[in-house]
Structure 1
Amino acid sequence: MNAKKLIYAAAAIALTACGPLAEGGTASQIVALATTQISGAPPPAPSGLDITQEQVLSNPGQYLRVNIRNIDQWDTMVQSAHNGTRVTWVNGSNISLTLEDGIMVATRGLPRDLMGADAVGTRQAIRAGGGNAQRTHEYLTDLDAISVQLLQCRIASQGPEAIERLQQTLNSVRFEEECVGGNLRFTNIYWVNARGTIIRSLQAVAPDAGYLQIDVF
Structure 2
Amino acid sequence: MNFSEQCCRIFEQATEAYHVTDHVDATIHNPYEVKSIEFYLYLKNWIDAVQWHLEDIIRNPSIDPVGALAIKRRIDKSNQDRTDLVELIDSFFLDRYKNVNVLPDATINTESPAWAVDRLSILILKIYHMQQEVNRPDADVEHKASCEKKLAILLEQKKDLSTALDQLLADIKTGRKYMKVYKQMKMYNDPALNPVLYGNK
- Band of TM-score, shorter chain: under 0.3
Q: Which has the larger radius of gyration?
A: 2
User: Which of the two has greater helix per residue?
Assistant: 2
Give me the TM-score of the superposition, normalised by structure 2: 0.27
Give me the TM-score of the superposition, normalised by structure 1: 0.26
Larger relative contact order, structure 1 or 2 (CA cutoff 8 Å, min sep 6): 2
